[in-house]
Amino acid sequence: MSENNLHGVKDFDSTSLGVFLYSWRKHLIVIGVIASILSILFSSPYFITPLYKSSVILFPVSSNSVSKALLTDQISAKSDILEFGEDEQTEQMLQILNSGVIREKIIEKFNLVDHYGINPKSKFKYTYLFKEYQSNITFRRTEYMAVKITVLDRDPQVAADIANTISELLDSTKNAMQKERAVMGFKIVEKEYISLQNEIATMEDSLKKIREYGVFDYETQSEMMNQQLAIEVARGNQRGIDALNAKLDVLARYGGAYVSIRDQLEHEKKQLSYLKARYEEAKVDATENLPQKFVVESAYKAEKKSYPIRWVIVLVSVISTLLISILVIITIDKLSAKGMLKKNVPSIQKQDIYSE
């Protein structure tokens, strides 16, 4: 078989390719062994820092208001304190977990600048720090609408502590955000509540003054006095008539004010009752907290490292090296066959194999 035909067969015949590779088996074996040794070496802790993984799984709550969950009488506004949140609450939770507030607290508490080995005097200190933070601490939504916090760290205990601390910070961070608004709302309701109390107290003082003049129940007193006046007139009792007229003059002078203040006071007391309920709800929201999540699984200290997976690195390295080596060998063989290289490569001496 001619040399050109030989290479044509090698190009398209898988059997010939197998024979070709077999003839280079010693070289490929040596290359594979060296690649495996080097990949084992460079994937060791001396070159790649092993990382341990810890995770926390959370479900958001459906209600953020303590008063709506526990105190309100309105059925439409009342929410179940034990109900799990949905998409909206999950997205809110993810946004808070990714916030700079939680990130800064974690960086400060665990001194991540030193922990990650970042030069504190570097011009790009925070750029490197945030990059390490984002690569080692991740948040994602699971297929069951929960939120998973995953932390990778060279220290398994630190990884677990960071994950659990982030879970705890979710409550304090969200409560602080809501507390600011709740306190402002409470102050507004409190101001209105106290103002209405003062108005009612003023009206009650006014009624007390009027009662001192003998006006206790305008309608009843007026009716009874008019009846008695008619009797005294019929009897011709001038003294009784004068006494009743004096009392009727007092009723005429203060009766209108009495009725007006009394009716307004009744209305304001109803408003005060309603406002008191809102005041109590606002006070609870401003002073009390509820957990903002359900913890499905807390983080614990990992026993085995999660990164790197050495057998995967070794396998990929060996396969990649062998593939590249085969391509290089084929290229060298083709070039030598065309006379572009000195014909002292092994392919010259393999012609006897193909000729057989």
| DSSP output for 122-168 | -TTHHHHHHHHHHHHEEEEE-TTS-EEEEEEESSHHHHHHHHHHHHH
Cα–Cα distance, 150 to 299 (Å, whole number): 9
User: In the predicted model, is pLDDT for residue 1 greater than 50?
Assistant: no
Question: Would you place residue 212 in the very low, low, confident or very high pLDDT band (cuts 50, 70, 90)?
Answer: confident
Is pLDDT larger for residue 127 or for residue 1?
A: 127
User: In the predicted model, is pLDDT for residue 152 greater than 80?
Assistant: yes
Give residue 13's pLDDT: 54
Share of the chain above pLDDT 70, in %: 83
**Least confidently predicted of 13-22, 46-55, 91-100, 143-152:** 13-22
Residue pair 31/325 in contact by the 8 Å Cβ criterion: yes
Work out whether strand 52-60 and strand 293-297 pair parallel, antiparallel, or are unpaired.
antiparallel
Coil, helix or strand for 214? coil
Is pLDDT larger for residue 63 or for residue 254?
A: 254
Cα–Cα distance, 162 to 299 (Å, whole number): 9
Tokens of 270: 């109803």
**Least confidently predicted of 77-81, 154-158, 190-194:** 77-81
User: In the predicted model, is pLDDT for residue 270 greater than 50?
Assistant: yes
User: In the predicted model, is pLDDT for residue 10 greater than 80?
Assistant: no
* Mean of the per-residue pLDDT values of the chain: 80
Residue pair 179/187 in contact by the 8 Å Cβ criterion: no
> Rounded to two decimals, what is the model's pTM?
0.65
* HSE-CB of 348 using CA atoms within 13 angstroms: 9
pLDDT tens digits along 94-145: 999 999 999 999 999 999 999 998 998 888 999 999 999 999 999 999 888 8
Question: Would you place residue 69 in the very low, low, confident or very high pLDDT band (cuts 50, 70, 90)?
Answer: low
Provide CB contacts within 8 A for 179, sequence distance 6+.
Answer: 286, 289
